[in-house]
Amino acid sequence: MKTTMQRVSLFLITMLLTVSVYGQQIEVSGKVFNEEKQPIIGATIMNKVTRDGTVSDIDGKFRIKTKIGDTLVFMFIGYMAREIEVNKAQLDVYMKPDLRLMEEVTVVAFGNQKRANVVGAATQRVITVNDWSHRLPMQPQNSEEYEPFRENRFFSVNKNPLSTFSLDVDAASYGNIRRMINQGQMPEKDAVRVEEMINYFNYDYPQPKDGQPVSIVAETAGCPWNRNTQLVRIGIKTKEIPSEMLPAGNFVFLIDVSGSMMDANKLPLVKASMKLLVNNLRPKDRVAIVTYAGAAGEVLPSTSGADKQKITEALDNLQAGGTTAGGAGIQLAYKIAEKNLVKGGNNRVILCTDGDFNVGVSSTEGLESLIEQKRQSGIYLTVLGYGMGNYKDNKLQTLAQKGNGNHAYIDNLQEANKVLVNEFGSTMAVVAKDVKLQVEFNPIFVNAYRLIGYESRLLEDEDFNDDTKDAGELGPGHTVTALYEIVPVGVDIPVGKVDPLKYQQQKTERLPSKFSNTKELLTVKLRYKKPGEDISRKLEVPVPASKTNRMASPDFNFVMAVAMFGQLLRDSDYKGDGTYKDVVELALKGLDNDPHGYRREFIRLVEAVQQLEM
């Protein structure tokens, strides 16, 4: 028999072991499933003690640093929240539908399942987040804002032979509509920007040659949603530069810590995202951190990328609260970037926010004026959007377009990894600036055309040769795609007509004889400036008419699928005979180049929308 002393000693040892384990910091990883063992995408995982959080990825997986004994809260729209005390590093969580909402809400969980297996929690009606946000923790009233725009129409080649626009490398629209679909919502029409959906994906374009930083290719095929028209795909590829060869970076993280950023898919996800970027910094890179709420302040002076622990600790200490003085934050971030300017380096402000500015300079017009002044400093801007419910897409688009920048939407860590790790070089450096594209159509072969997307990037024809006109920036390894729908000569299509002129002679539509034997369908012209230069250079590539009516390549099939999907989501006047079934069939022909599974994810999104529209 154990003596009393032995029992007391054993008790004390047990208590000491318990105390030593309790509070120990660990990284918890696992998956979030529904009752049918299908992964839940975008579930919020929050530490109830520290308020740190993350979201589950496309496979339902998550990772979060926490302590043994802390409580993790798991939340997803349409499901009952779960609280689990941490006692191990591996944690698989099953969530149950909220039966209180079953009679009035249709909620769909999406994963790797086939279309017929998508699960709906009810079938009465579909409601938006706005209808039931008051019942869910941390879900704000829906006040998201998007800039309305009119879709590009057809233009007659005889009257408008030139099409001119600034190249756009933003991809925020795709991530944002994916978030809406994964929540069981149909995306808002103005949130759907087709060119950003297309350019979310990379394509196999040839590397530039002859010392040029940019190459141009073109491909033509029949239009899948209108048998009377054709599609022309113009592909741009910039030269690739290994990450270690990129110029030194002078980064300023400008982080919104206002009260609207409290949700787990906002500031906690910002902190997790920035840590991914910090892990890939080189010793020659430097980072400063500026935050803004009611006022702006510097929380970390410019620090070497070799001191990752110091940068990470500064991120960990950030907390949300207060109003949103975004204008003041922008001014301070640029001031610090200018103070630490690296000549010939990559000087960049990285703004992380939901876009809800409400103190100081806060209007779209005011922000546009402010950022246009700041872009003269030679400092580039990356805009990363986060969150839902009060996301101000219109303001973030303005900042990115006017500030020599790019715009991405981060809805989970997988997307953060794509933007800040896999595409670090192309999104965080510049090899060609003020890039403009101009296409001249040959009226011998083309009756009319329309540019699909790029509505906010259109330029006057004269702007193409005007080097003072601002345009888009391209990073190393970037691929950019523009898509035109063209009407061949002999096919009639409404393009808008005016009465005959009364006070001047009507211009003839007959071509000069010297063009009558040309074999070119169109000519693509591109202007760009090298970083640090103010004089543009021009590339010009003719596209032979003999390339029409060929079988589309796998990449082209996928581009057409994405364009058709965007037009269906917008209920476009030009969607023709396209269907979601056609989108899936086309996309399946374009899966050859899908190393990260993004294209397969696209197909699952399309199948999910089919269910939402049933």
Q: What is the pLDDT of residues 468-524, one digit of tens each?
A: 998 988 989 889 999 999 999 988 876 777 787 888 776 555 555 455 557 899 999
- Range with the poorest average pLDDT among 341-345, 436-440, 463-467: 341-345
Domain span(s) for CATH 2.60.40.1120 in the chain? 24-135
Start-end of CATH 2.60.40.1230 domains in the chain: 155-241+432-496+517-550+557-612
pLDDT at residue number 112: 34
User: What pLDDT sits at residue 6?
Assistant: 63
Cβ atoms of residues 168 and 195 within 8 Å: yes
Identify residue 184 by its one-letter amino acid code. Answer: G
Q: Specify the higher pLDDT residue, 394 or 205.
A: 205
As a whole number of angstroms, the distance between CA 115 and CA 605 comes to: 10
Instruction: Kindly write down the DSSP assignment for every residue of 42-81, as one continuous string.
Output: T-EEEETTT--EEE--TTSEEEEEEETT-EEEEE-TTB--
Predicted pLDDT of residue 358? 59
- For 328-343, what is the mean pLDDT? 90
For the cut 80, the answer to whether the pLDDT of residue 547 exceeds it is no
- Kindly report, residue by residue over 267-313, the tens digit of the pLDDT: 999 999 999 999 989 999 999 999 988 778 999 999 999 999 999 99
pLDDT tens-digit series, residues 29-73: 999 988 778 888 767 788 877 767 777 776 788 888 888 889 998
Give the separation between CA 193 and CA 567, rounded to whole angstroms: 9
Domain with CATH 3.40.50.410 in the chain: 244-428
In this structure, are residues 569 and 579 in contact, taking their beta carbons and an 8 Å threshold? no
SS3 457: helix
CATH code, residues 244-428: 3.40.50.410
Per-residue CA distances from 105 to 131, 140, 280 (Å): 10, 18, 43
Assess contact for 586 and 561: CB atoms under 8 A: yes
Check residue 109 and give its pLDDT. 34
What's the pTM value of the predicted model, to 2 decimals? 0.77
Superfamily of domain 24-135: Carboxypeptidase-like, regulatory domain (2.60.40.1120)
Query: For residue 122, what pLDDT is reported?
Result: 31
Q: Does domain 155-241+432-496+517-550+557-612 have CATH number 2.60.40.1230?
A: yes
Asked if pLDDT for residue 160 goes beyond 70, the answer is yes
pLDDT, one tens digit per residue, over 95-145 is 887 654 333 333 333 333 333 333 333 333 333 333 333 333 344 457 888
- What is the number of H-type helices and E-type strands within the chain? 14, 25
pLDDT of 462: 96
pLDDT at 172: 93
Contact at 8 Å (CB) between 318 and 255? yes
Average pLDDT for 366-385: 80
